[in-house]
Each structure stands twice: as C-alpha cells, then as structure tokens.
Chain A
Amino acid sequence: QVQLQESGPGLVKPSETLSLTCTVSGGSIRSSSYYWGWIRQPPGKGLEWIGNIYYSGSTYYSPSLMSRVTISVDTSTNQFSLRLSSVTAADTAVYYCARLARTGGYHIDYWGQGTLVTVSS
C-alpha cells in the first residue's frame, strides 16, 4: 500500500520561503507510471493544483504559481519537495502531496494526509 506523508514547518513568515517534503513509502518514486504532485487548499476554499514532477526531474507548474514554485525530487530517499517563495497570508493552506497516475487516465490515486501551513509574522 502506497503512503505519502508531508513534513515541514507549520508556520512561515511573510516574504519567506515555504518548504515541504513528501516521503513516499510502499512504492518507488522512480516509476515511469506516475507524476508526483502538490495540491493546496486554503481554509474554507477549494483545491488548487500547484504542480507535478516526474522521477526524471521534469516539472510542470500551475501558470498562476510558476514564478514562485520549485518542485524537486530525490530518488535516493524516495522523496519530493515543494518550495514556494515570497509567501503572503494568501498562501496559508493545507498542502497535500499526491501521486498522479499517468496510465489509465491522468488522475490522483493516492493522497497524503495534508499539512497546514500558516503564513504569519
């Protein structure tokens, strides 16, 4: 059973960089069948796609966040990471990592539990 677990600071100051890591267990991140992605949900609002990464390092970002987002992968530790720069209160959200299946239709088949990140001084 594949599991994904987010980790990182729950509080980030405005203008600083938010950094989160997703640890994948029960399966290899080095699979050609999947993307690995980040999704967020501000309190009381809808889900927003942030971006995906392929195990080779190819990245795909939401146009609205592209200028501030970096997603990276470390196949040796079976982890991938999110960095979001110059954060404001609008970046306060629950951040989910997820596995996106590339075969049988592009869709999320596994979600992390999510981690709340609050942007505040």
Chain B
Amino acid sequence: QTVVTQEPSFSVSPGGTVTLTCGLSSGSVSTSYYPSWYQQTPGQTPRTLIYSTNTRSSGVPDRFSGSILGNKAALTITGAQADDESDYYCVLYMGSGISVFGGGTKLTVL
C-alpha cells in the first residue's frame, strides 16, 4: 500500500523560511500526482493552501509556495509568522479517484 511521507515535526524562527516535504514510500512525486497542501490549527477545519503543485488557493498569502524538490513535493513558507504554527498535510492524487493524505507535519514557530 502506498504511504505518503512527511516530516513529523519542524520548527522555524519568526521571519525565517521553512520547507516541508511530501514523499512516497516507493517512487518519486511528480506533478502528475497533483500535490496539494492543507493547513490545520487545533480544533479547526483544514484550510486549502496549495493545489496542483504550486497554485495558491484564493486568499492564501504569497509567502506560501509549492514546488517539486528532487523526488518530493514541497511547501515553503517564507517569512514565517506566529499564526503559521499549525499542522500541515499534503495529499497526493493516485489516479482513478483515489487520494492519500500524508501523516502531517507539526510546525512550531519559535
């Protein structure tokens, strides 16, 4: 069974830059997986940040960006702010209507 991998946790200093990644247990992530990224703060509904690798969802500030880095999808936050402290999930589309969530990355801003 396909496993989508993410770093369990990451920390960044206020104003700093952080890159979270999304990989596959077997194989490389490409744009064909239409990687998307979601932000969730505790007790809240997830918010869509990025889709189709690098398209920002409406209202998402441009300090959030998506890309493919090597064999993984990546979410980069530039100029991190305190309210960016959240859980971040990637989703890969496997085709035939099937999508898989990564395990999520808990981002701490300190």
Residues of A within 8 A of B (CB): 35, 37, 39, 46-49, 52, 54, 58-60, 62-64, 96, 100-101, 104-109, 111-114
Residues of chain A within 8 A of B99, CB atoms compared? 37, 49, 52, 100, 106
Residues of B within 8 A of A (CB): 1, 34, 36, 38, 40, 45-46, 48, 51-53, 55, 57, 87, 89, 91, 93, 96-104
Residue B36 contacts which of A35, A48, A107 (CB distance < 8 angstroms)?
A107
Whether B57 contacts A109 by the Cβ 8 Å rule is yes
Residue B98 contacts which of A48, A58, A60, A96 (CB distance < 8 angstroms)?
A60
Q: What are 10 A-B contacts defined by CB distance under 8 Å?
A: A46-B87, A47-B46, A47-B89, A49-B101, A60-B98, A62-B100, A63-B1, A105-B53, A106-B51, A112-B45
Report which residue of A35, A37, A104, A108 has the largest number of chain B beta carbons within 10 angstroms of its beta carbon.
A108
